[in-house]
């Protein structure tokens, strides 16, 4: 029977020879991740079940990234509550306030393995499909059942495969590609589908750029984002894990597979305009829009190559006096690499604020919030009303290149200028 990547992984996890879209399977979970914001409810729900111990403390990852360091008494108490849970349950993989954003730290630390099923109490868990896993966000009560049993049921999703072809132009990146796709099919255009990214353009992308693609699968309604394993994947995993793994590929004649062809030869930098991620326009249509803040970071575009692109544009220049620019590396590992390469000096000299690895203003609950009437240009993944502070503020989404160029000019700017 011909199957998609998603079908093959879920079949294997459920101990089945085959499965197909629409069927219900009970999957064995390989990795279960929760963080400081959603973790407390997951734990409290688990405690209500009445089970004394989690099913496997080696397969649970607890991470603090949303409100780090604690920005309120409530956040501090949440941290204390989760640390107590980690100690009591002897959770092996605990990353306190110092490591960074969960969707960057998990792959860095070798928790993301091709062919495995990964769940997290965060909607952007779909990022990890960039390494050939089936990864998806779940609710806190679902996570409680995973903690207790190590299992979770899924309806097997259909797959939409984006065959991306063409050569990306100057200062056009995977963020522009995925924003363009979302703009075409809409925020609900791939509802409960596995969004698989293929084609030569995807093959040419770095792992970091593929992570950005899969990260935003949820923004088109997708259940997960996925990229087939290749040599780049294998090279990324070297030194991060010693586990053996299965590299599944989609059969082109699978019944549940739909293919969309995307030509990026003439693609220009893309901007998601307020207040929806599918309100996407070319940068030339919004060029000149005044901004108050630029946020370079998040689980979408806070990786080393994003910082490198931004630093290249900012070197020897100054952030506009009318703009606050926040630079937040996605992890401590990236922060260290950026320091070694001198990128942080470029940002500081340009007048940007460099913060500790965390989610920053992305969730609208930590540093860098927007006031009423203010406008932000952000490399993150969502721009709903109130997402980064006041519901009367506006958030535009872009790549790191657009963000850096715009910080200099004080208005949305085409980096190709």
Tens-digit pLDDT profile for residues 103-123: 999 999 999 999 999 999 999
Question: In the chain, where are the structural domains located?
Answer: 5-243+254-262, 271-412
Using CA atoms, how far apart are residues 301 and 133, in angstroms rounded to an integer?
Answer: 20
In the block, residue with structure tokens 């997960």: 224
Classified by CATH at the fold level, domain 271-412 comes out as Aconitase; domain 3 (3.30.499)
pTM of structure: 0.92
pLDDT of residue 391: 87
pLDDT tens per residue, range 166-189 = 999 999 999 999 999 999 999 999
Residue bearing tokens 């060029």 = 287
CA atoms within 13 A on the CB side of 296: 33
* pLDDT (0 to 100) of residue 415: 95
List C-alpha distances in Å: 162 to 181, 230, 376, 398. 9, 17, 30, 20
The pLDDT of residue 360 is 78
As a whole number, mean pLDDT of residues 145-159 equals 97
Question: So what's the pLDDT on residue 96?
Answer: 94
Runs of H (alpha helix) within 113-229: 140-149, 174-185, 200-204, 207-215
Indicate the helix (H) or strand (E) that contains 160: strand 158-165
Beta-strand relationship, 375-378 and 293-297: parallel
* Cα separation, 49 vs 43, whole angstroms: 10
What is the rounded average pLDDT of the residues 248-268? 95
Residue 330, CB-side half-sphere exposure with 13 Å CA sphere: 23
pLDDT of residue 257: 94
Contact 357, 325 (CB under 8 A): no
**Two tokens at 142?**
């679902």
Does 299 appear as a known binding residue?
Answer: yes
* Percent above pLDDT 90 for the chain: 88
User: So what's the pLDDT on residue 384?
Assistant: 80
Over range 84-111, report the average pLDDT. Answer: 95
362 carries a ligand binding annotation? yes
Between CA 141 and CA 217 the distance in angstroms is 23
pLDDT in tens, 22-52: 999 999 999 999 998 899 999 999 999 999 9
Residue 146 is encoded by which pair of tokens? 């995973």
Evaluate whether the domain defined by 5-243+254-262 bears CATH number 3.90.320.10: no
Quote the mean pLDDT of the chain: 94
Q: Is the pLDDT of residue 390 over 90?
A: no
- Residue 370, pLDDT score: 85
Domains 5-243+254-262 and 271-412 share a fold: yes
Question: How many whole angstroms separate alpha carbon 382 and alpha carbon 277?
Answer: 6
Terminal-to-terminal C-alpha distance of the chain: 52
**Mean per-residue pLDDT for 388-394?**
84
pLDDT at 314 over 90: yes
């Amino acid at each position: 029977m011909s199957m998609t990547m998603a079908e093959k992984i879920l079949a294997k996890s459920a101990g089945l020879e085959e499965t197909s879209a629409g069927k219900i399977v009970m999957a064995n979970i390989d990795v279960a991740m929760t963080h400081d914001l959603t973790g407390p409810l997951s734990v409290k729900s688990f405690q209500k079940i009445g089970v004394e111990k989690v099913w496997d403390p080696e397969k649970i990852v607890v991470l603090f990234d949303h409100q780090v360091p604690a920005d309120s008494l409530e956040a501090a108490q949440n941290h204390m509550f989760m640390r107590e849970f980690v100690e009591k349950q002897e959770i092996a993989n605990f990353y306190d306030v110092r490591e960074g954003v969960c969707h960057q730290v998990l792959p860095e630390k070798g928790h993301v393995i091709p062919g495995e099923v990964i769940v997290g109490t965060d909607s952007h868990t779909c990022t990890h499909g960039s390494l050939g896993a089936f990864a998806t966000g779940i609710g806190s009560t679902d996570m409680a059942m995973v903690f207790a049993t190590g299992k979770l049921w899924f309806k097997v999703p259909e797959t939409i495969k984006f065959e991306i072809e063409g050569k990306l132009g100057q200062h056009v990146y995977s963020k522009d590609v995925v924003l363009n796709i979302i703009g075409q099919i809409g925020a609900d255009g791939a509802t409960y589908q596995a969004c698989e990214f293929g084609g030569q353009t995807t093959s040419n992308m770095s792992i970091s750029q593929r992570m950005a693609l899969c990260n935003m699968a949820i923004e088109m309604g997708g259940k997960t984002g996925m990229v087939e394993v290749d040599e780049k994947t294998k090279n990324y995993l070297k030194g991060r894990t010693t586990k053996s793994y299965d590299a599944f590929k989609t059969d082109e004649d699978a019944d549940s597979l739909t293919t969309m062809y995307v030509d990026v030869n003439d693609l220009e930098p893309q901007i998601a305009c307020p207040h929806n991620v599918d309100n996407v326009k070319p940068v030339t249509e919004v060029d000149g829009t005044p901004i108050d803040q630029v946020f370079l970071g998040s689980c979408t575009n806070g990786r080393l190559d994003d910082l490198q692109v931004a630093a290249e544009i900012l070197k020897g220049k100054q952030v506009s006096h009318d703009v606050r620019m926040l630079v937040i590396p996605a992890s401590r590992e990236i922060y260290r690499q950026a320091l070694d390469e001198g990128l942080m000096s470029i940002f500081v000299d340009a007048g940007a604020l460099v913060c500790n690895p965390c989610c920053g203003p992305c969730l609208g609950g930590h540093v860098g919030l927007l006031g009423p009437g203010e406008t932000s240009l952000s490399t993150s993944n969502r721009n709903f009303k109130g997402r980064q502070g006041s519901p009367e503020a506006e958030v535009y989404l872009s790549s790191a290149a657009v963000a850096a160029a715009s910080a200099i000019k004080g208005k949305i700017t085409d980096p190709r200028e």
